[in-house]
Chains A and B, each alone.
Chain A
């Protein structure tokens, strides 16, 4: 069955109204100057030592093995069920749970879950449980020592593979494709974790890294003394460790979402993407990622040069400031998918194998209500997400510049800020449909 631009879905959003697009663009510009000129002139967000600690008892439960094991067992059971349904359940996408659970409830749902609860996938990751079970039978991981140097680069590979499946692969919504992808993903990452040790998941499991990156903007974090804390999300984002590859992860996420936006425009559908084949999709996706990467490198390096700092470290230093922008894009593009087509998961969950008369949760007879959120409300959420992401990004970049040089001039930040404004205009333009 043929599908829409993203993994699954029955509809895409209307282009946002011109007025709202211009309003968003104007607000972005105005707020950018407010951030640069009116905000603090000394670093003040706090860093790794910021936050109000949670009660020690609560932390013991949250950090304790029992809670994690129980959640991992539950998630493993769900994952196994999804794979079995994918391979043996109904053949057609509208009636098979797996693509909806995987692309909508899991992948899109990982964003609000990580934003509200912190790096949740790290805690519940069923692959970590499997690795733990296999570990006694494995030799000492020979590659463990190399892992720190690799940083998050392995995760960019893993995320690219998933994003290509979701946005380009012609049979992405096929239940069997989803089932085999999940099996392949588990096998590959268990193999790599056998080589690199349990540390692999935080560096190479794309889903876990995605969740952890988004969770930098959650109000929960871990202080440098190991305490779980409640903190200003911006303090969490600014204290993101500048690991190698973090910039790769953020530009990949931003570029892929931009491609998803592009593929929904009339320009793309009637122009370069008219053939709707993997070649045009792959080229389009790579082009958008390359464009975002080039702009980001240019902005960070130019800013570094103006400030008289070594340009080589700049992309990594500022990578965390792009997280809110990437998050804004994600919310703008997938909010409606999650609320509208996401209903399908809960309907199909009542009858995962499509057997006549089965209705586990009494939802099997429900139909997706596509008018649950009005087009006007969707457009408003989209523009707000892009603009708020932009402002938080510019604010973080401002703080980051002050951390790098206490007497940083506002003008030094201009190249990166101009690039961020370009990302925002690009994001609004894609929503407007150019």
Chain B
């Protein structure tokens, strides 16, 4: 009797955890389905923006003058795998830095500098001018 009660109690105590795990899909079998939804979510976006991203190209241009960035500023979306050409022109000598990919380039006033890379790491990355301390744009690779 007491044993049975203890069992019921143990089962009840386990209930919240079991519910959490099964319903949120954080462990066991449901994880597969949850992971699948997550994966299909991302693959849906990438397939919508073009089947195998080989050969995809994107040109991003931004100009910095009188302390203000114009052109492709803000959040710029790029599909993962795209060959990106980022062209930056500044009216002052500076250094442009793409975080994460860690690409830096010296800028001479008035001369466009070109950064070429394949956007193969997902995430949001800042493109920033070191001396001015300005974020020109944020690259969203997904």
Taking Cβ atoms with an 8 Å cutoff, the residues of A that contact B are: 1-2, 4, 10-14, 17-20, 23-24, 27, 30-31, 34-35, 38-40, 44-45, 94, 232, 234, 264, 266, 269-270, 276, 370-371, 374-377, 379-380, 383-384, 387-388, 391-392, 395
Contacts and interface: CB of A to CB of B under 8 A. Distances in A.
Given A39-B16, A44-B9, A266-B74, A388 B26 contact: yes
B135 to A, nearest CB: 7
Interface in B1-40: 9, 12-13, 15-16, 19-20, 23-26, 34-35, 37-39
A20 B13 contact: no
A12 B100 CA distance: 9
Interface of B: 9, 12-13, 15-16, 19-20, 23-26, 34-35, 37-39, 41-42, 45, 74-75, 99-100, 102, 120-126, 128, 130, 133-135, 138, 140-142
Nearest to B142: A14
A92 to B, nearest CB: 10
Nearest to A21: B41
26 contacts: A2-B133, A4-B99, A11-B124, A13-B123, A17-B45, A19-B38, A20-B38, A20-B41, A23-B34, A31-B20, A31-B23, A234-B16, A264-B124, A270-B74, A276-B135, A375-B122, A375-B123, A376-B39, A377-B38, A380-B38, A384-B24, A387-B20, A387-B24, A388-B20, A391-B20, A391-B24
Contacts of A392: 16, 20
Contacts of B38: 17, 19-20, 376-377, 379-380
A370 B26 contact: no
- Main SS of chain B's interface residues? mixed
A377 B42 CA distance: 11
A182 B142 CA distance: 38
Contact of A11 (B26, B123, B130): B123
A269 B142 CA distance: 19
A371 B119 CA distance: 12
Contacts of B99: 4, 10-11
B41 A266 contact: no
Contacts of A276: 135
Nearest to B45: A17
Given A1-B130, A375-B42, A391-B16, A370 B35 contact: no
A234 B14 CA distance: 12
Contacts of B45: 17
A235 to B, nearest CB: 10
A391 B126 CA distance: 35
A14 B134 CA distance: 21
Given A12-B124, A375-B42, 15 more contacts: A4-B99, A11-B125, A14-B124, A20-B37, A40-B12, A44-B9, A44-B12, A270-B75, A370-B100, A370-B123, A375-B122, A376-B41, A377-B35, A384-B24, A395-B16
